[in-house]
Amino acid sequence: MSLPVVAIVGRPNVGKSTIFNRLAGQRIAIIEDQPGITRDRIYSRSEWNGREFHLIDTGGLEFGKQDEILTHIKNQVELALEEADVILFMVDGRDGVTASDQEVAKMLYRTNKPVMVGVNKLDHPKQLDLSYDFYQLGFTEIFALSSLHGTGTGDLLDAIVERFPPETEEELDEDTIRVSLIGRPNVGKSSLLNAMLGEERVIVSPVAGTTRDAVDTHFEQDGQKFTLIDTAGVRKKGKVYESIEKYSVLRALKAIERSDVCLIVIDGERGIAEQDKRIAGYAHEAGCASIFVVNKWDLVTKDDQTMNQFSKLVRGHFSFMDYAPILYVSAKTKQRLTKILPAVMDVAERHALRISTSVINQVIQDAVMVTPPPSHRGKRLRIQYATQVAVKPPTFVLFVNNPELAHFSYVRYLDNKLRQTFGFEGTPIRLHLRNKRS
């Protein structure tokens, strides 16, 4: 199920990043008391009254000036507005309504989406009346805020959640494996999808950023049903939203949320970029099964060590995903494409694997006998009982005498024992320690 999206927009230095961090519940955005700090959209996942949603922070909109950075910010904001279900329009209550606020308001009228106006920096109760001035912008939902102190954010979040689209559960066929192709622009995701299907189902273009909306492709092979999710679609004519290194992360997040398996596509010719690690991290955090697919392998100058060297590079950059297999393919020549779907079925099976409680406890007991937990200040971790509580990804709970006695290296040891015993290749696993009294 795709989550609703809230985009925070406004002119520079009105406190967008501060309210973003407040609503996200953590310090993510860079905060500086000068305009222009936030240039690219920043994403977080948040929750209020049981509704989860995505939050987008954007750069400050400036009008009347023309330079490359400001144009880039405007393009990024337009993309955020296009993705948003609700817009939070931030203004500075102490400055009053400015010409730039009015220009932003004109931009927001055209979206035909719910707009909440957050009148920020009203840090003292005597300043709250200053918010009334902003009704002249033409919006009816005005909220007096102090993002610094958190004043007014509860009422704001209540109103935002009320304007979300109704929750709808996606009808899922449990026999269908949902696979998303994710990666930075121009690594060949759409070409790879077409090559796998053997037909032109998705428009392919060498221009980075052609892919815009999620497109599902359903098919069946050897009795197994698949849904391929390409973050696909055609960019609106005449609008260049993103440079080659600016990937629409929210598209990947939405695809990941709906997937059992993620194919993390890497450009074998250009190598690994920081953006690849960020995108892979989203799949890992979401608990998806994953496979690294190194595309354009036909363009790489090779010797008998090239593949091993590239694999070491992948393992070094993605050390947090050492469980994910690596495939080397070429969408252009169809080299090794036949290996992808069998690998997908294999990791999907392990992703959904459920193990009996008795077997899990035996494995944990054997692991503890071989390597007992280290003592800490004269006390030692004791594991009383273990059970699997979920699949996709496999999730285990260990009831212990005191979770604080568990050193991360010992938890890692138990994680590895479970992997070795049950062959969890391709899927993350979750291991939670709880007090036996809970």
The pLDDT assigned to 167 comes to 78
In this chain, the answer to whether the domains covering 5-162 and 176-351 adopt an identical fold is yes
402 in a labelled binding site: no
356 in a labelled binding site: no
Position with higher pLDDT, 82 vs 360: 360
57 in a labelled binding site: yes
238 in a labelled binding site: no
Question: Do the bridges between strand 224-232 and strand 383-390 make them parallel or antiparallel, or are there none, so unpaired?
Answer: unpaired
Average the pLDDT over 343-357 and give the result.
Answer: 96
287 in a labelled binding site: no
Q: Is the pLDDT of residue 328 over 50?
A: yes
- Give, in order, the Cα–Cα distances in Å from 192 to each of 181, 196, 266, 301: 9, 6, 11, 20
For 185-194, 296-305, 394-403, which range has the lowest pLDDT when averaged over its residues?
Answer: 185-194
Q: Cα separation of 347 and 328, whole Å?
A: 17
6 in a labelled binding site: no
232 in a labelled binding site: yes
Q: Is the pLDDT of residue 32 over 70?
A: no
214 in a labelled binding site: no
137 in a labelled binding site: no
> Cβ contacts of residue 126 below 8 Å, gap of 6+?
none
233 in a labelled binding site: yes
332 in a labelled binding site: no
- Cβ–Cβ under 8 Å, residues 108 and 9: yes
CATH number of 176-351: 3.40.50.300
CATH level 3 topology of 5-162: Rossmann fold (3.40.50)
- Cβ–Cβ under 8 Å, residues 241 and 78: yes
Position with higher pLDDT, 217 vs 324: 324
Using only C-alpha atoms, what is the Rg of the chain?
25
The pLDDT assigned to 98 comes to 94
Residue 4 one-letter amino acid: P
49 in a labelled binding site: no
254 in a labelled binding site: no
For 52-56, 133-137, 171-175, 270-274, which range has the lowest pLDDT when averaged over its residues?
Answer: 171-175
Q: Is the pLDDT of residue 243 over 50?
A: no
123 in a labelled binding site: yes
- Cβ–Cβ under 8 Å, residues 213 and 232: yes
Average the pLDDT over 344-370 and give the result.
Answer: 96
Nearest to 75 by CA among 58, 88, 56: 58
17 in a labelled binding site: yes
Average the pLDDT over 186-192 and give the result.
Answer: 85
Residue-wise pLDDT tens digits, 105-154: 999 999 999 999 999 999 888 888 889 999 999 999 999 998 888 889 99
Instruction: Sketch the domain layout of the chain as residue ranges.
Output: 5-162, 176-351, 357-435
Position with higher pLDDT, 70 vs 433: 433
401 in a labelled binding site: no
The pLDDT assigned to 246 comes to 37
pTM of the model: 0.69
Q: Cα separation of 245 and 262, whole Å?
A: 20
231 in a labelled binding site: yes
14 in a labelled binding site: yes
358 in a labelled binding site: no
75 in a labelled binding site: no
184 in a labelled binding site: yes
Residue-wise pLDDT tens digits, 5-15: 899 999 998 98
393 in a labelled binding site: no
234 in a labelled binding site: yes
CATH number of 357-435: 3.30.300.20
The pLDDT assigned to 56 comes to 85
The pLDDT assigned to 242 comes to 41
The pLDDT assigned to 1 comes to 57
Of 226-230, 283-287, 294-298, 376-380, highest mean pLDDT: 294-298
67 in a labelled binding site: no
Position with higher pLDDT, 56 vs 268: 268
The pLDDT assigned to 250 comes to 65
The pLDDT assigned to 210 comes to 44
Beta bridge partners, 56, equal 7, 43
Of 138-152, 155-169, 189-203, 417-431, highest mean pLDDT: 417-431
The pLDDT assigned to 137 comes to 94
